[in-house]
Amino acid sequence: MKLLLCGDFDAGEEAQWRLALAAAAPQARFLSLDEARADPAAVQAALVANPPPGSLQGFPGLRLIQSLWAGVDRLLADTSLPSGVPLARMVDPAMNAAMAETALWATLALQRDFFAYARNQRAGVWRTHDQRRAQDLRVLVLGQGQMGTAAAASLARQGYQTRGWRRDGVALVPLLATSDVVINLLPLTAATRGLIDAAFLSALPFGAGLVNLARGAHVVDADLLAALDSGQLGHAVLDVFHTEPLPSGHPFWQHPRVTVLPHAAAFTDPRSAAAVAMANVQAALRGEMPAHLVERGRGY
């Protein structure tokens, strides 16, 4: 079995993937893009993590494109992606658990004003805040896919008043108006791009918190900065950005009410995800329906 393995891994990540994939499928050969191009007809499936646009062109034998990322927006933006080949996104329980941890950490820190204490420390200010209880906090999780569901379950277990929203569900504005913290775990699609704009932010109660763990393009940055500067938004935890790495000099870096993470809320964990990917590839090669197929028209 010859498979293409292609992504923007650093050397350490690639070594981890190769080790985990070899353990999951000892009989398979994982080819780099150059190796695969030497005999393109032999390549049966592709495992990809943000591959350069055009990478998947010219492989007539491809039976599955398995993303090693949960979000496939970058892949779908590649107009040369072969349209007839099924595309599957990564669903990795370890990744869901990592995302739930990040959502819980951010919510806890907002609940107990730990971001404000960190800000006060930098200013040499000794001042206490009210000690809110978890059950006092109304948390809205946008997105009810794998990660949204895992995050919401963990927040509910911790005692937060937790609600979930999906784009085809109930109206969003009334939910925003009664949410102290909003956690974004939506897929990035044409319908969700720019969702977090001035109208969205002004629907929140004054001083609410925003946690964006999905994609930078869900947010209109200028609107977010204006909401932070007016106090309408109390704090933003941002893991994802329009341009990554976040350019030096971007106002988010130094903003006292923004916590920046380097797209680190939840990585795909090769120790579990390699087996997930290979089970899906093997299903496709047996002629079975692979799991977690992307509906391209829908965008996820």
Q: What does R_g of the chain's alpha carbons equal in angstroms?
A: 21
Write the DSSP symbol of residue 139: E
Residue number, 98 or 228, with CB nearest to ligand GLV: 98
Least CB distance to ligand GLV at residue 241 (A): 12
How do beta strands 258-260 and 64-67 pair? unpaired
Residue number, 73 or 180, with CB nearest to ligand GLV: 73
Tell me the torsion sign for CA atoms 144, 145, 151, 153: positive
Beta partners for residue 138, in sequence order: 161
Find the catalytic residue in 215, 218, 235, 257.
215
How do beta strands 161-165 and 233-238 pair? unpaired
Least CB distance to ligand GLV at residue 273 (A): 10
Residue type, 249: G
Beta partners for residue 64, in sequence order: 45
Least CB distance to ligand GLV at residue 138 (A): 26
Catalytic residue list contains 250: no
Least CB distance to ligand GLV at residue 248 (A): 22
Residue number, 95 or 220, with CB nearest to ligand GLV: 95
Cβ-closest residue to ligand GLV? 71
C-alpha to C-alpha distances, 222 to 14, 90, 212, nearest whole angstrom: 36, 32, 15
Residues that bind ligand GLV (CB under 6 A): 69-71, 268
Residue number, 220 or 265, with CB nearest to ligand GLV: 265
Find the catalytic residue in 263, 271, 292, 296.
263
Catalytic residue list contains 112: no
C-alpha to C-alpha distances, 147 to 42, 205, 218, 295, nearest whole angstrom: 35, 25, 16, 18
Catalytic site residues?
A: 215, 263
